[in-house]
Amino acid sequence: MESAVRIFPAGNELRASGWQARRMGLSISAALLCAASLVAPATAHARDLVVYGEPTLQRALKLVGSLWQWRTGTRVNVFVAPSDLSYAQIDRGARCDVVFALAGAATEEAERNNIIHAATVERVLRNSLVLIGTNASAQSDKDANPAHLAQLIAGKRLAIANPDRDAAGAYAADLLRKIGIIIDDRNKAIAVAESTAGVVDMLATGKAQLGFVYATDATVVFKVVARLPVPDRPPLDYVIAQARDPASDTEPFIAFLKSAEARAAFESAGLTSIAAGNGAADAWRQK
């Protein structure tokens, strides 16, 4: 064994061992490349989906994402932010495959700027505005007219989302003005939170007794006191669209969203599914 090792002169020994190491390295590299070529298609096929959505859709999107992962093995990563901020992130190059956004001006602008594919935009979900409270005995699913609303909030501290940043807050501010309630710093009976999530937090910490939120924000702890009609304003509808440069195939996931299974998940989170062909799909585009 020793004589075999010393076939090369001492001066060539290092060169020979170096050549052998390179040959071994090339063999390993070739094997790794072959393995990678076999694994790559499966990895690409199973790549996670990235979904952006309105904050009030977070629970619903996670429910549907879990269903999709159970069915396909593909994970759905959900990131929430107001629609205009989501569109800005996509425009700056952040990865997004599918976006759920409020129907309206921000979505129209995103279409014009090719941030989303206009041909894929579809109205799919509707939310409603509700009054929630900490008093479970006051629970009701009935619509509140202005007189009833004034009676419900009399003598109680009410929380609303920032009307300048949140659609639910803007709707609530309009309703309050109609019954003669002014929202300003002098009115200590009205607390303004950054979002409807902040409204829920105010109720949880005892800073308010009632709050205007989306139906999706209502929980088993804070009951719906009344549902609020908003006949003079467009409905709180959400569209779904494919983002500018999706990294994954979005068609199977979007098709799944229309299934009975997905609709049931959305409805359990407080949303109403908008059936295709009911004439509402393009109503939000009308001026």
pLDDT of residue 165: 82
- Residue 10 placed within a domain: no
Q: Per the structure, how many domains does the chain have?
A: 2
| Residue with tokens 């139906």, as numbered in its chain | 215
143 lies in the same domain as 207:
yes
Residue 191 falls inside a structural domain: yes
Given this model, what pLDDT does residue 195 score? Answer: 86
| Shared-domain flag, residues 119 and 169 | no
- The SS3 call for residue 82 is coil
Q: Single out the residue of 54, 210, 214, 230 nearest to residue 129, CA to CA.
A: 214
Between CA 139 and CA 224 the distance in angstroms is: 6
134 and 119 in a single domain? The answer is no
Residue 26 counted as domain residue = no
The amino acid occupying position 280 is A
What does the DSSP 8-state code read for residue 109?
A: H
Q: Are residues 147 and 119 in the same domain?
A: no
Of 202, 228, 254, the residue that ends a domain is 228
CA dihedral 77, 78, 83, 87 (to 10 degrees): -10
Are 62 and 76 found together in one domain? yes
Whether residues 143 and 185 share a domain: the answer is: yes
Domain presence at residue 41: no
The answer to whether the CB of 195 falls within 8 A of the CB of 161 is: yes
The CATH number of the domain where 264 resides is what?
3.40.190.10
From 228, 250, 268, the end of a domain falls on 228
Instruction: Tell me, yes or no, whether 56 and 114 share the same domain.
Output: yes
- Per-residue confidence (pLDDT) for residue 10, from 0 to 100: 43
Domain ranges, residue 197:
129-228
- At 129 the pLDDT is 87
The whole-number pLDDT of residue 1 equals 41
Domain assignment present for residue 121? The answer is: yes
Domain boundary among 228, 256, 275: 228
Tens digits of pLDDT across the chain (287 residues): 433 333 334 444 434 444 444 444 444 444 433 433 333 333 334 479 999 999 889 999 999 999 999 999 999 999 999 899 999 999 999 999 999 999 999 999 999 999 999 999 999 999 988 889 876 555 555 667 777 888 888 888 999 999 988 888 888 888 888 888 877 777 788 899 988 889 999 999 999 999 999 888 886 677 788 887 666 667 789 999 999 999 999 999 999 998 999 999 999 898 998 864 344 433 333 32
pLDDT of residue 232: 65
Tell me which DSSP letter residue 76 carries: E
Global pTM? 0.70
